[in-house]
Amino acid sequence: MQRRLECVRKKYVEKREKSIVFGKNSMWADVEGDEATFDKRIKGDHCLLWEQWCGLVQRGRPETLVLARLQPPLTIPRAPGPGPITKKDWKPLAQKHLANRKIIFHTDSAKAYKLKLPGVIHDVVSHKLPDGKHLKVKAGTQHIDWCWKFLKERLSEGPGCRAGMARLRRKIRATQYEYWHRGNDLWSCTGDLLHDYMSDIMAKP
């Protein structure tokens, strides 16, 4: 039953993510970005395979959490981590979710995030907007850090999954669904989820 619920949640999340738009109105929107590592395992000739994801979320809108699985290179067994997100991984995500959206983007110091994009200004405490007005914002990433904590705590409660496994990807997506609906009645949400799932099935020719 748990596996089936996770599969339905995963399918729903991946469908709904396509409709998430940051900065929907004419105001500048604060969006945070960061990457997190969920697991690692030995692969092949003593190399480490990492399960690393990038996350984006608009401040004040937890239902906008978008996750993308990254493809970090294999590392030596003693490596402390897969390293920061690469420009190769970041560029298509940035162009898809941020470009031309009037975004104030908050990240850590990873070089890839410094990519220049139209309609995006990077996180500093005081911004001069294109219309000449000044805007003060909080620097740094706080909300996305809470997202990672939320996901990892719930993943640690279940049976272990290893990096590169479809089972782990399924559980990450299912937990993303929980984050979208935190504070809501998950029983009621599950009813809506199953209604959406059955609607998709009935719509198929």
User: Domain range holding 80?
Assistant: 28-165
SS (H, E, C) 17-83: HHHCCCCCCCCCEEEEEEEEEEEEEEECCCEEEEEEEEEEEECCEEEEEEEEECCCCCECCCCCCCC
10-residue averages of pLDDT along the chain (205 residues): 90 94 84 93 87 95 95 90 92 95 88 91 62 57 88 78 90 95 89 86 76
- Residue 150, helix vs strand vs coil: helix
* Residues 6+ away with beta carbon under 8 Å from 35: 52, 53, 54, 55, 70, 84, 85, 110
Q: Is residue 192 part of a domain?
A: no
Q: Is residue 190 part of a domain?
A: no
List beta partners, residue 126. Answer: 136
Prediction pTM value: 0.85
pLDDT of residue 127: 47
Question: Are the C-beta atoms of 85 and 50 separated by less than 8 Å?
Answer: no
- Residue-wise pLDDT for 104-157, tens only, equals 999 887 888 989 999 998 875 444 555 656 555 555 568 899 999 999 998 876
Counting runs of H as helices and runs of E as strands, what totals does the chain give? Answer: 5, 7
Euclidean distance between CA atoms 160 and 169, whole angstroms: 12
Q: What is the tally of structural domains in the chain?
A: 1
pLDDT of residue 201: 81
Q: Is residue 22 part of a domain?
A: no
Q: Is residue 89 part of a domain?
A: yes
Q: Is residue 199 part of a domain?
A: no
Angle at 56 between CA 29 and CA 158, to 5 degrees: 140
pLDDT of residue 126: 46
Q: Is residue 134 part of a domain?
A: yes
Q: Is residue 55 part of a domain?
A: yes
